[in-house]
């Protein structure tokens, strides 16, 4: 299928957590075994895993490299990784260790020349993370706001050769308040770039709405808290998605 449901694992202090609106003080722990959690989602039928080093995102330094590498090696499905990736050397190290895609967030805004060189070297393995609060891109683990809109950054990424972005509405992330389908579809359509939606997915209604907007360029959705709090059963969601495709 050309639309992916992607389970998320966010690492903080060596554990699997979910934050609310990216606030480190509003953190819920779900597992102290990230590798086992990753294998569980693979067993449930996931075709890709979304893995984020939250400590790295806040600090700008790799904080869970060994745990992350263990997950790459344990899984048969591809993993997209982000969080604190700021240099070409770090990108190379992650890809050499088994990452399928590397997500670039803060440096996409502050050092687009690094993104351009990374795309030149690694093509579609480079994904931009565009995280916005009220339409304005947030940086360094969503702590700081830039002066750029999500659409500005998405268009710039496309001009640098990036093929897809992950768009997160920070105000909805971890809140189970529903995906911002309207802004996600608008961003994909206006920027002319592939978009993976993130932030606020609460159930099948969100998945259905995004799937129905896939012609705009929406390629999938990242699922977090809805899965961990059992608001959404992953296997059942996959079956529903297959039914959408079958008509």
Residues classed as catalytic:
10, 131
Q: Which two tokens stand for residue 141?
A: 């683990």
- For residue 147, the tally of other CB atoms under 10 A from its CB is 8
Distance (Å) of CA 191 to CA 86, 103, 137, 158, 187: 24, 18, 15, 7, 6
**Residue 134 DSSP SS3:** coil
Contact between residue 42 and residue 77 where contact means Cβ atoms under 8 Å apart = yes
CA 187 – CA 107 distance, rounded (Å): 20
Q: Which two tokens stand for residue 144?
A: 């700081």
Q: What's the distance, Cα to Cα, between the start and end of the chain in Å?
A: 13
Q: Which of these, 151, 145, 97, lies nearest to 128 by C-alpha position?
A: 151
CA 52 – CA 5 distance, rounded (Å): 16
């Amino acid at each position: 299928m050309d639309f992916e449901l992607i389970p998320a694992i966010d690492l903080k202090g060596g554990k699997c957590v979910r934050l609310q609106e990216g606030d480190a003080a509003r953190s819920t722990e779900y597992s102290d075994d990230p590798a086992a959690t990753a294998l569980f989602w693979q067993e449930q039928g996931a075709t890709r895993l979304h893995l984020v080093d939250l400590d790295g995102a806040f600090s700008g330094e790799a904080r869970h490299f060994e745990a992350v590498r263990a997950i790459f090696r344990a899984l048969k499905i591809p993993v997209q990784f982000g969080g604190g990736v700021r240099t070409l050397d770090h990108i190379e190290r992650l890809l050499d260790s088994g990452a399928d895609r590397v997500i670039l967030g803060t440096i996409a805004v502050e050092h687009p020349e690094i993104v351009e060189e990374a795309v030149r070297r690694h093509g579609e393995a480079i994904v931009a993370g565009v995280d916005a609060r009220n339409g304005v891109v947030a940086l360094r683990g969503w702590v700081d706001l830039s002066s750029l809109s999500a659409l500005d950054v998405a268009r710039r990424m496309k001009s640098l050769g990036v093929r897809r972005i992950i768009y997160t509405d920070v105000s909805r992330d971890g809140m189970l308040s529903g995906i911002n389908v309207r802004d996600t579809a608008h961003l994909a359509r206006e920027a002319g770039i592939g978009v993976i939606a993130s932030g606020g997915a609460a159930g099948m209604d969100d998945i259905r709405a995004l799937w129905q907007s896939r012609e705009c360029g929406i390629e999938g959705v990242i699922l977090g808290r809805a899965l961990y709090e059992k608001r959404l059963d992953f296997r059942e969601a996959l079956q529903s998605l297959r039914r959408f495709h079958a008509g």
